[in-house]
Structure 1
Amino acid sequence: MPCNLTAFVMGFLLKEYTDGTYNYSDGINNDILDVAKLKEMVSEIIKHQQNPIPRYKDKFIVTTTAEERAFNEASSKIFGIPINLCNSVEQTRERIRQKMKNLSFPIWVLKYVLDGATLKSGKDVVSSLIDDYSGIANNSNYGIAKTDSDIAMAIGKLCIENPGVIDDLALLVTKDKCTEGMKAYLKQYEDGVLPKLANEVNDGGQFINRLKKKFDADAANWVWNTDTANQKINEVVQEYRIIAQSNKILPKSTSFDGTIREWTDKCDMIRISYLYAKNYWEDLSDLMELLYDIKKSGVLLESKREKFLEQITTNGDAFNRFYNSQTDLFKKACAFIVGRFSNQEIQEIFRLLPKNLFTAEKSDYQSTVQSTVDKYISEQSAAKLKEMWRNKTQTDSPRQWSKKYLMPILCMISSEDVPAARAAFGALNRKNPDANSIEKATEFLERADFFERLSSQEERDKAFRENIVKSYSVMLEDLDEVRNDLKRRIPVDPYDWFGLPDVDAKLAAMAEYNYNKTGCGKALEKIEDMDAAEAKQYLKRLIKDNMIVGMEIIKGK
């Protein structure tokens, strides 16, 4: 019956179990059973009997052997686990495994730094303890089957017989020491192949961090035995072999990720679609397929690394030969499109292609090549057209000719040819005319008969007077002065003066100014010099020839 007397009797009968040789357990937590813990256990069970406690856990008194206690105490000190969390083999084992997860490498690598360590116990003793703790992490690491309890008892016995071994291992179980141990292990693994490769590529010691990433990638790395760890080491060795071999082909890199980036950058400069030229790669087929996958995904899958290493070793020189003379393969793969061009023209077309075409789909690549060929043809035709113009006029364009002579070039063209000339001159003035405009402009210039007139000062003045100044030429006799005045007053290029109303308005203003200045006086003088009959006859002719004069006379009446 739950009461104070029951509690007293239970405490009296159970007090002999508080001598430190027994543990308290609720199935999850374990601790040394002392008087305080016994009082807590008895109090809780009495209260639970009176008023059930939610989530109550049954309490037990459990026995521990000297070896088990030694195992728990040693593990607490070595791995920095609070002693109250190390009260059973199962509980301590789980705590040890959690601590091992925080180490950089499996604990067995510590055996490779024992030669340089100052030990209270012997090297063999510490090595044996390391093996036992490796077994606690994963008992399959033992050659023969042992239970966790067997291994724990062996650890406890070893620590009882060699108390100094606890301090020895406690000083070794750190991230830095595990890293040091792995470096020591790598020096003797396959004659130090990984450090040698790392030195060859001048990685500054980063190989150990690359290996650490391999271990960090697996949450269970702390249970790995040497065989499993060696597989990861071999993966890093393979990566460094790829770096070293790639450095013979690419700009130097010191890391695997950097090497893959160099390969993708190299692929950016390949102006041939892998898929479009798939039937022409010959010995490079396997390597180019691997590079295609790398460029598409940005990574080299582990399953393909051995093949990639084999390919760059076997075909690295062939790849460089292809890369440095891509036009040879381009000419074969795109023969239908570029077959009509000379080798030099094909090289020029190839240089016009954009970068990053290696992973292009066949249809996209063909379209790109065709548009590049069209652009090349257009540019070549445009260049020939402009060269023809320069040879005939010693100017770069009709617009530049007009600036040079301060007159619109269209005024040099016969009226029936002005529309065609305007279109042709427009093509010459544009930076990138279309193919149709170039063709029509070429045809027009080849049959043109005005080039000789363009170089004649007399012809230029005549055309400017007749087609620009027109009737105002009586008042505007100095054509150079007229040109310069228009340049100052008209805010557009001389090429655009042709047919511009603002030009006519400015010429009218200039003519009126000159008329008011001297022209009117000259006209009056002429009339004064005429007799009445002659003046009358002149006025009649003027009325017949000039509607404006006739209208002014009518209005005057």
Structure 2
Amino acid sequence: MMLLETPGLAEAMAKYMTPVVFDKAFQQYIDNAKPELKAAAKRLGDSSNTYCRAVKTQLAATSGWLWKRGDAESVLEDVYYRQMLCVESIRRLAGLSGHMNFEDAMNHLRNAVLDENKVPTEFLVKKYPALQHFFELISKPTLSRNDVKILGEIIEQQDKVIREVFFDMGQAWQLGAMREIFGEVWPKMVAESIDLYNAFPPDSARADIKSFKAIGRGKIEEFSRTLVSKQIIALWRTRTHTESPDEWSRKYALPSECVLVVDDAKSAVDAVADPGSASAERLQLVLKNLEKDGAFVDENKAGEFFLKRVLPARYQKMGFSVSELSEWLLKKLGSAPGRWLNDVRLQEAVEAFVKQGYDTHARRQAAEKVNMLSDAEAKKLLLTLIDQIPDVGLTVLE
């Protein structure tokens, strides 16, 4: 009524009640009603009065706040705990700086505890029972005013434990927990332990112990296979100066297993060429064999092994060279020497090689030697051949 009856009062009040003036007055009210809110905001680096906007937003969503001082004070209390004290505790735990709102702080906390941490909360609660309620609270999609207050109190009380378990860059506690859960199969080397730990899925913390162990055994098997595979391949490269068995075979025109002096060399070569097809136990055995002294030979010795393996003993006296045989087999069996020993055509190809070698080299030498024999010596030689080679005897009987 006074507003209508007093000339110019409405215009004067309209000029005064601007957003800028209202915001300043509102901030003065908040700072007077809850001075610790401003102090906490300052510690958190809130230079743009974000805390005032947070209060205004929450007040606007609260029915009847203009008429009840108690409602306004309740909202201030809520923002103080939610936006300030809890955020401040989380920021301190994580070693972060700069302004952070409550949602960002909670997301950071949940990520550290439930995603980056791979140790099940079930295991953690057995170690630290006081964290049970902590896990329950951060697992909630939304938190009440009382939840936030309790969470802040838990963080304050369990600061040392939470920091050590979830915010240690070296992950010492988690690695120790994994070693306790999985025992001797867990890697002892720190670097390997970290790599395996990081290979676990992000939701591991939410799994029950039984399921976690089942997942873990598979991860450990896979990691062990990968680790040993890398060691085997590195050893092959160091000893042979080639990237793979196939490259070695093509380089020297020999089956790659001839470079190895180990039990079941073919299986060892297969494990080097395709480690994913072998079990972790098999790879461990291969690595153990390849690490032995004398397990690898040079290409010359490998060539000798190849000749002895494919040429019958009596033909080896004819003086065939490795290069001659390899060149022949490249033409007859193809340009993949690694497959020669398993090629069904190998024996036929070797016999053809021996025959052409005999025709070009040995036949004339044999004839010249026979011509130099006396009749008695020639007869004795013929009888020996009849005794040792059935085809000679059958030829005499024709």
TM-score calculated relative to the size of structure 1: 0.52
Alpha-carbon spacing, 1:224–1:359, altered in 2? closer, same or farther (3 Å): farther
Question: Which moved further from structure 2: 462-471 or 226-235?
Answer: 462-471
* 8 Å CA contact retained: 2:260, 2:297: no
Cα distance in 2 for residues equivalent to 1:430 and 1:205? 62
* 8 Å CA contact retained: 1:472, 1:507: no
Cα distance in 2 for residues equivalent to 1:183 and 1:224? 18
Question: Which of 267, 274, 297 matches 1:423?
Answer: 267
SS of the counterpart of 2:245?
Answer: helix
Cα distance in 1 for residues equivalent to 2:161 and 2:186? 25
* 8 Å CA contact retained: 1:393, 1:454: yes
Report what 1:460 is aligned to: 302
Alpha-carbon spacing, 1:390–1:523, altered in 2? closer, same or farther (3 Å): closer
* 8 Å CA contact retained: 1:349, 1:373: no
Report what 1:234 is aligned to: 77
Report what 2:164 is aligned to: 321
Cα distance in 1 for residues equivalent to 2:285 and 2:84? 62
- Counterpart of 1:464, as a letter, is F
- Counterpart of 1:235, as a letter, is D
* 8 Å CA contact retained: 1:385, 1:442: yes
- Counterpart of 2:279, as a letter, is D
Report what 2:282 is aligned to: 437
* 8 Å CA contact retained: 1:263, 1:291: no
Cα distance in 2 for residues equivalent to 1:304 and 1:182? 27
Question: Which of 29, 54, 73 matches 1:210?
Answer: 54
Report what 1:407 is aligned to: 254
Would you say 1:360 and 2:204 are equivalent positions? no
Alpha-carbon spacing, 1:206–1:508, altered in 2? closer, same or farther (3 Å): farther
Report what 2:122 is aligned to: 275
Q: Relative contact order, CA 8 A, sep 6+: which one is greater? A: 2
Query: Cα deviations across residues 137-172 of structure 1 (Å, max 9, x unaligned)?
Result: xxxxxxxxxxxxxxxxxxx2x134422222233345
Would you say 1:263 and 2:109 are equivalent positions? yes
- Counterpart of 1:276, as a letter, is F
Question: Which of 145, 153, 164 matches 1:302?
Answer: 145
1:327-342 equivalences in 2 (<5 Å): 327-328=172-173, 331=176, 335=180, 337-338=182-183, 340=184
Cα distance in 2 for residues equivalent to 1:506 and 1:216? 93
1:102-117 equivalences in 2 (<5 Å): none
Cα distance in 2 for residues equivalent to 1:547 and 1:453? 42
Report what 1:83 is aligned to: none
Alpha-carbon spacing, 1:302–1:361, altered in 2? closer, same or farther (3 Å): farther
**1:458 deviation in Å?**
6.3
- Counterpart of 1:317, as a letter, is K
Alpha-carbon spacing, 1:547–1:343, altered in 2? closer, same or farther (3 Å): closer
**1:524 deviation in Å?**
6.6
Would you say 1:184 and 2:31 are equivalent positions? no
1:66-77 equivalences in 2 (<5 Å): none
TM-score calculated relative to the size of structure 2: 0.69
Cα distance in 1 for residues equivalent to 2:163 and 2:343? 62
Structure 2: 5+ residue runs without aligned partners?
none
* 8 Å CA contact retained: 2:246, 2:256: no
SS of the counterpart of 1:358?
Answer: helix
Alpha-carbon spacing, 1:297–1:487, altered in 2? closer, same or farther (3 Å): farther
Structure 1: 5+ residue runs without aligned partners?
1-155, 552-556
SS of the counterpart of 2:205?
Answer: coil
Would you say 1:244 and 2:244 are equivalent positions? no
**1:305 deviation in Å?**
0.7
* 8 Å CA contact retained: 1:398, 1:428: yes
Cα distance in 1 for residues equivalent to 2:296 and 2:86? 69
Alpha-carbon spacing, 1:438–1:178, altered in 2? closer, same or farther (3 Å): same
**1:263 deviation in Å?**
0.8
Alpha-carbon spacing, 1:263–1:481, altered in 2? closer, same or farther (3 Å): farther
1:154-169 equivalences in 2 (<5 Å): 156=1, 158-169=2-13
Cα distance in 2 for residues equivalent to 1:170 and 1:388? 81
**1:313 deviation in Å?**
2.7
SS of the counterpart of 1:407?
Answer: coil
**1:280 deviation in Å?**
0.6
**1:274 deviation in Å?**
0.9
Larger Rg: 1
Aligned residues: 378
1:166-177 equivalences in 2 (<5 Å): 166-172=10-16, 177=21
Q: What RMSD in Å do the two structures reach over aligned CA positions?
A: 5.2
* 8 Å CA contact retained: 1:280, 1:333: no
Alpha-carbon spacing, 1:347–1:365, altered in 2? closer, same or farther (3 Å): farther
Report what 1:198 is aligned to: 41
Query: Cα deviations across residues 247-296 of structure 1 (Å, max 9, x unaligned)?
Result: 211223522111112112212222211112312115xx24x6324542x3
**1:241 deviation in Å?**
2.1
Would you say 1:479 and 2:322 are equivalent positions? yes
**1:507 deviation in Å?**
6.5
Cα distance in 1 for residues equivalent to 2:234 and 2:19? 78
